[in-house]
Structure 1
Amino acid sequence: MLITLLLAVAVLAALLYYRVSLVASSITMVLSVFVLTLFESAMWWLLWPVLALVLVLNYAPLRLKLLSRPVYNLLAKAMPPMSTTEREALEAGTTWWEKDLFSGQPDWSKFSAITSPTLSEQEQSFLDNEVETLCGMIDEWEVHKKQDLSEETWAYLKKAGFLGLIIPEEYGGRNFSAYAQSRIMSKIASRSITGAVTAMVPNSLGPGELLMKYGTQEQKQRWLPGLASGDEIPCFGLTGPEVGSDAGAIPDLGIVCRGEHEGQEVLGLRLTFRKRWITLAPVATVVGLAFKLEDPEGLLGDTAKVDYGITCALLPADHPGVEIGTRHNPGTPFMNGPIRGEDVFIPIDWIIGGAEMAGKGWRMLIECLGIGRGISLPALATASGEMNYLTVGAFSRIRRQFNIEIGKFEGVQEATADIAATAFTLEAMRELVTRGLADGAPSVVTAMAKYHATELMRSSVNHGMDVVAGRAIQMGPRNFMAFAYRGIPVAITVEGANILTRSLMIFGQGAMRCHPYLYDEMQTLEASDPEAGVRAFDPLLMRHLAHVFSNIARLSLFGLSASRFSPTPTEVDEFGKRWYQHINHMSAALAVCSDMALAVLGGELKRRELLSARLGDVHSQLFIACSLLKFRESQSPSEAVDIHADFALTQALYRAQTALLVFLENFPQRWLACLLRVICLPLGRIHRQPSDDQIRRLGDLIMQPSSVRSLLLSKVYMPEDAEDAVGRVERTYQTLLQVDDTWQRFNQAWRKGQVSGVDLQTALNDAVAKEVISEEAAAGIAHYDALRFDCVLTDDFEQL
């Protein structure tokens, strides 16, 4: 009897695993149970419930009465109504590979078809020439003292087209790809966060992008050429004293009315607004504004409609009533300040897209915010991570304590290994995210990129501060860590505060946009005719149930087999195969746990931010793992690449597993949480943190020349000036590499007493006399030691 039951379960599991159609599955199950009863007559009782279930599922009137209508009514009561703002946010943007990861069944053939982004000849030339020139013009310490870029730098930013990278060529712009924009901003940020932020804003959320996507032809002709040439400097007023991450709560108001403009009475708006934290506002010549629009007199043509919602308009900065010019002090001296206006009248055609776009500003903003989240801020974070790798890795080999390089201490290696893996991860994420942006505007992916890139930046820079220690604390022209450290809060806060991005956006949007059925089901709940709603809901529910039980079957098999039999891309080596299989397992676990959470908590899950954030973490770490695999496959095979990828993948899957376990530990229905825990991880924890051996290997590797170091070096600006904060470290490091063998041999001899001397020079002289090293080698060591000592010095000033 037990064997018979197991065979029946095996047949059902196979049907669910392969997602066989309902009719075919029903026939197969009935026949299978009938055949099994022939061998075990005591199992005849099993045939009747199977027949009953098959009848209910396949006979539509009975299914509607017993299943679909009760579930529909239950959901209609449990789910809160969706606001217009929420609907527009969910409908904005597109979905991409993250949808496959959320489904529980990633299509690896689709993933294999995703190619790594590349630069065009024009983009590469711009990086090699204009960007290189710009970086060479900037001295971040001088920017810090002046609290602004030099006039020469401002002029070059405009002349070389840095403010019009996204604008089409027909308007004088460069029309660069998302990947090129990221590489450009990242290279500038590796030199100057102030310079990068200044160039970022016109190319992310700002009038340029809004005009290109939604502007009228007249508006494009009026503004885009000036924005491309730099004759016009844009800013965009969104946030204010009462509104930050909750951009939908904008209190600024525009009232439709008639007024005078250029001597004529025209239909327009009377605006009252108070904005703050607006980057480039103090120097802007054109201001984009987001506000709530009301038409109390029905002047737009619809007398029944008063509240139009969020609207975006564009107006000259010197327009009467607009007040700008003062500055905030965000710690990094890019231009940032408030904008105010009271009863400012503008013509109706200054609404971006014209009067017909009145009230459509929220969706416009949501879609355009993705550029800042997916390109600009991750580019800044990537630059910080890569510069941290290069400078801290070099410094940890140059700096010695207890007569040994500090990078050899295991405690330090725990930090430097993480720095190394973080830089590798950030570059991998950049490539996959910008590739996704080339295919659309995936809102969930860009939210993941913004949150995790900037958090990785925070972790990496903090580790770097620990390693470099007192040398990193003291401000001055020698300090190569300070400005990245000061820039962390900016990256964490802007374009949506990280806390809310994680707790509300990644899973909140991810569940609705990435789930194959949930959003459509929610739509049916709002049908004006309940009967029509139930009929539309019925096929969705059946497909949803098939999706859930199929994922449970897949997850059970993956859990018991450690996912060893799960599908992988056709062309994958042994290194990648196991990681793809682990992703299959965690993807199925995410899908099952998400469906269970939505079924049990319903609309309450939106308010259970701790739970939803952890599911979002699982989703994000799976995306990060995919980016690492894709990035590794795009590189020339090398041991260094594999060491970095292995460490970073170990971190990503461990973090995904940890987030899943913490979710289950806090899930309110304890019996269900325990059951899910057994289904998800029946063999216990699969993934562990990077081992001590992995930490030691990567901690050693970050201090050595390698293919990964060379790769990261090609992505950033590395100054040749030996008096530069970064250039000094790199020159000293490269000099060390030239003398390292003799330096180590000499140090060992000195330490063992084979040569003697009260200081380095006398010891070198003794080593030459005893033929431990040559005279030429001694000169090289003396030269290096002078550079080393200069490299570890800290700035001091007569007065502050």
Structure 2
Amino acid sequence: MRMMDNAWASAQGQELPWAAAEYELLRDQVRRFVEEEIKPCADRWEEEGGIPRQVLRRMGELGFFGIRYPAEYGGAEMDAVASTVFAEELGRSTYGGAADAMLVNAEMASSYVFHDGTKSQRARWMPGIVSGEVITAIAITEPDAGSDVKAIRTRARRDGDSYVLDGTKLYITNGVCADLYCVAAKTDPAAGSNGITMFLVEKGTPGFSVARELDKLGWRSSDTAELVFDGCRIPAENVLGAEGQGFYSIMRNLQNERLVLAAMAIGMAEAAIDMTLTYVKTRRAFEGVLWDMQAIRQRLAMLSARVEASRAFLYATAWRMAADDDCMREISMLKAICGELVNEVVYACVQFHGAMGVMRESPIERISRDARVLSIAGGATEVMLEVVASMS
């Protein structure tokens, strides 16, 4: 566990709730997995554009896809703090694409199945999700509808005991590799927020196809796709939650998505600072090393302080979420702060690496590309700030 957490707890004569032994054990387990099974292989995943299925199944074996889910499905029955630990350590791997693909299955898409699914839907799908045999994706974003969920155009019309879906989804993580998709569509276009419904769509369903795999700036070890639904007929039993309640399901599940993305950003920022400290303390320039330059070490010191402060806010908020507190305002703040901060940190770290900072052989170059989307994915900074302002 972090030395600062333990030092603070010792000074206060008590243990920080998020520094408890069960979280420390999880952190150690994830960190070992990152060092032994992600870092040695992830450069190849970057080139191939995805993670091998055996790696995802291995994550299931280790319990990483069931952190928050009940034991009846093979889960560990932990809480939002554990999810935050998991996401922070995946962020520290420095491979944003792999981290995101793993988090989508563990924390983002699968949460719709668990929280909104019927008993039979959960019984059918959750064991495979937790084991890593079933990979999930969440399909909300469209060409003309990103953060503005109400603007989606994908339609679902009832036809007897089925629904027929027509529309396009864009920028979908795990869009190529997923087995099960949680899809948002309008069942009543005139009803506004009350006209959106979530559906479960299986890979291979007639009328559903992956139109193309998208080429991205960063996150290259995760696949991102455009999906097309053209007369895609699914049984009515595949409605996920109640008809017309999809918008509220999305807003509820987005809170956890934004929390883990903030944690991923913090982990990435920590890793960037660590590797930059190592670099500037050994890189010789002007008859010394870069660390001797006051401007560089003070800048890194300030960035480190801001990351630590944001991390404390992150875990305090995760603890509140674990206690079922309403913390939408705080999560929106976190998503805005952490998404912007990781980009500021990485910008400075690239600068201090000099020319090496823009070489593909340098990890900081990859981090600079992977960090960029963290101020966009899950809710752009500007949208998050509007949420905060509306609740102030």
Q: Tell me whether the two structures share a fold, i.e. TM-score over 0.5.
A: yes
Which of 132, 148, 167 aligns to 2:32? It is 132
Residue 219 (structure 2) pairs with residue 332 (structure 1): yes
1:322 Cα offset (Å): 1.1
Letter in 2 for 1:473: V
Letter in 2 for 1:343: G
**Where in structure 2 are the equivalents of 1:371-390 lying within 5 Å?**
371-374=256-259, 376-390=260-274
Specify the alignment match of 1:341 in structure 2.
229
Residue segments in structure 2 that go unaligned for 5+ positions in a row: 1-11
Specify the alignment match of 1:217 in structure 2.
119
RMSD value over aligned CA atoms? Answer: 2.4
Residue 220 (structure 2) pairs with residue 320 (structure 1): no
Residue 371 (structure 2) pairs with residue 468 (structure 1): no
Q: Contact between 2:136 and 2:181, CA under 8 Å: does it hold in 1?
A: yes
C-alpha separation between the residues in 1 aligned to 2:368 and 2:202? 35
1:243 Cα offset (Å): 0.5
1:167 Cα offset (Å): 1.9
Specify the alignment match of 2:9 in structure 1.
none
Residues 130 and 271 (structure 1), Cα distance of their counterparts in 2 relative to 1, 3 Å cut: same
Residues 180 and 307 (structure 1), Cα distance of their counterparts in 2 relative to 1, 3 Å cut: closer
C-alpha separation between the residues in 2 aligned to 1:246 and 1:116? 38
Specify the alignment match of 1:234 in structure 2.
136
Residues 69-116 of structure 1, C-alpha deviations (whole Å, 9 max, x = no match): xxxxxxxxxxxxxxxxxxxxxxxxxxxxxxxxxxxxxxxxxxx9x984
C-alpha separation between the residues in 2 aligned to 1:154 and 1:125? 21
Which of 101, 105, 108 aligns to 1:205? It is 108
490-499 or 158-167, which deviates more: 158-167
Which of 250, 255, 268 aligns to 1:365? It is 250
C-alpha separation between the residues in 2 aligned to 1:142 and 1:461? 23
Residue 367 (structure 2) pairs with residue 484 (structure 1): yes
1:123 Cα offset (Å): 4.5
Q: Matched residue of 1:398: which SS?
A: coil
Q: Matched residue of 1:323: which SS?
A: strand
Q: Matched residue of 2:212: which SS?
A: coil
C-alpha separation between the residues in 1 aligned to 2:306 and 2:283? 22
Letter in 1 for 2:382: I
Q: By percentage of residues, which structure has more strand?
A: 2
C-alpha separation between the residues in 2 aligned to 1:293 and 1:115? 50
Letter in 1 for 2:84: S
C-alpha separation between the residues in 2 aligned to 1:249 and 1:310? 10
TM-score, normalization: structure 1? 0.45
Q: Matched residue of 2:163: which SS?
A: strand
Residues 128-160 of structure 1, C-alpha deviations (whole Å, 9 max, x = no match): 235413431223333323333345533422332
Q: Contact between 2:83 and 2:107, CA under 8 Å: does it hold in 1?
A: no
**Where in structure 2 are the equivalents of 1:5-404 lying within 5 Å?**
116-118=16-18, 121-129=21-29, 131-138=31-38, 139=40, 140-150=42-52, 152-191=54-93, 192-206=95-109, 208-258=110-160, 267-294=161-188, 308-324=194-210, 326-330=212-216, 331-333=218-220, 334-353=222-241, 357-374=242-259, 376-404=260-288
C-alpha separation between the residues in 2 aligned to 1:124 and 1:244? 36
- Number of residues of Structure 1 aligned to a counterpart in Structure 2: 374
Specify the alignment match of 1:437 in structure 2.
321
1:491 Cα offset (Å): 0.8
Residue 308 (structure 2) pairs with residue 424 (structure 1): yes
Which structure has the larger Rg?
Answer: 1
1:289 Cα offset (Å): 0.5
Q: Contact between 1:238 and 1:290, CA under 8 Å: does it hold in 2?
A: yes
TM-score, normalization: structure 2? 0.88
Residues 274 and 427 (structure 1), Cα distance of their counterparts in 2 relative to 1, 3 Å cut: same
C-alpha separation between the residues in 1 aligned to 2:208 and 2:48? 27
1:443 Cα offset (Å): 1.2
Q: Matched residue of 1:164: which SS?
A: coil
Residue segments in structure 1 that go unaligned for 5+ positions in a row: 1-111, 259-266, 297-304, 512-800
Letter in 2 for 1:269: Y
Q: Contact between 1:167 and 1:173, CA under 8 Å: does it hold in 2?
A: yes
